[in-house]
Amino acid sequence: MIVKTANKNPWIVLIHGFGVTEKVWFAPLDEKTLFMSFRTLLKEEKEVISFSERLKEHYNIASWTQGAHGTIDDAVIELKNLVDALDSQNMFFVAHSRGGLVARRAIQQYGLKPKALICLSTPHHGSRFADLVMRYFTGITFFLPSVKPHASPIRELCTDSDIVKEMNQPGQIEKEKHVPHYDIAGNSTAFFGIRMKIYGKDMILFHVMRSIERIFGSMLIPEWRNGEGDGFVKTSDSKSPLTSDGCFHILPVNHSNILVRKDVYSIIYNILQTF
């Protein structure tokens, strides 16, 4: 989708993550993951305003839906084609989750020159959640056959995947140094709670992920421990090798609501205003 507001405005290229579409940037309540709808994941948010809606007053916006079963390198080609079509020297990349790896890979391979790369919850060093999925992939696909075609892109997100290792090699990192890097990470595993009316008041009985943590404690992967991960990515792994401490922001958000929270947008907007 292309939203051009004014010729003079810079371009923001929005790059979505794995298992979703560009709807996460334009109509998040209409989006769904492989397992659950965003309407459920975001049901505790008091305000759901898409990033495109927040950005469009000051920026032109471009995005696209990546191939459903495509790899990172497939998405890299799609991003390169979009950048070529925009033909602008005045653009920024804002990427969520795997989208940050797509952006970094495209910069490394094609020398793309966005003015900045802002990543939200990107597994720069892979995800132990992906490790678990691949370890039990046969059993998972027995109950959820729709996951089977996604084996290749999920494997790429593992902590020991060849593409993650290659992207973080010194020689490859050197190819990104012309682009300022920023990362925003979450450290909350509170996705949604089980609600019940008690004495006429709507109360949350428990948050699903936090309740699991109380049972299993330190046996859980860091991605699932509140304060250490956002449900899908370990907080510290959301910092790219080129992101300085001052450009790394940690907020009490999870892997989903990081896409709609006003405090996240405020950080993004403040970064953009420095250029």
Q: What is the rounded CA–CA span in Å between residue 182 and residue 94? A: 10
Spatial CA neighbour of 103 closest among 88, 86, 91: 91
Angle between helices 72-86 and 98-110 (to 10 degrees): 70
Q: What is the rounded CA–CA span in Å between residue 228 and residue 230? A: 7
Q: Could you tell me how far CA 208 lies from the centroid of its own chain? A: 21
Mean pLDDT over residues 49-55, rounded?
85
Whether residue 148 lies inside any domain: the answer is no
Q: What is the rounded CA–CA span in Å between residue 252 and residue 266? A: 14
Whether residue 216 lies inside any domain: the answer is no
Which string of DSSP letters, residue by residue, matches 70-126? --HHHHHHHHHHHHHHH--SSEEEEEETHHHHHHHHHHHHH----S-EEEES--TT-
Does position 37 have pLDDT exceeding 80, yes or no? Answer: no
Residue 195 confidence (pLDDT): 46
Contact 200, 216 (CB under 8 A): no
Whether residue 252 lies inside any domain: the answer is yes
Whether residue 166 lies inside any domain: the answer is yes
Does position 170 have pLDDT exceeding 90, yes or no? Answer: yes
- CATH number for the domain spanning 123: value is 3.40.50.1820
Whether residue 196 lies inside any domain: the answer is no
Question: Which structural domain, as residue segments, surrounds residue 166?
Answer: 2-127+160-188+233-272
The per-residue pLDDT for range 81-127, each reduced to its tens digit, is: 999 999 888 999 999 999 999 999 999 999 999 999 999 999 999 99
Total domains, the chain: 1
Whether residue 80 lies inside any domain: the answer is yes
Does position 197 have pLDDT exceeding 70, yes or no? Answer: no
Edge to edge, what strands does the sheet with 60-63 contain?
2-3, 60-63, 11-15, 91-96, 117-120, 181-186, 248-251
Q: What is the DSSP code (8-state) at residue 252? A: S
The per-residue pLDDT for range 151-169, each reduced to its tens digit, is: 889 899 999 999 999 999 9
Whether residue 132 lies inside any domain: the answer is no
The per-residue pLDDT for range 60-76, each reduced to its tens digit, is: 899 999 988 899 999 99
Three-state DSSP class for residue 268: helix
Please return the burial class of 143, using the count of CB atoms within 10 Å of its CB with bins 0-12, 13-18 and 19+: exposed
Whether residue 6 lies inside any domain: the answer is yes
Q: Which amino acid, 233?
A: V
Residue 218 pLDDT grade (very low, low, confident, very high; cuts 50, 70, 90) = low
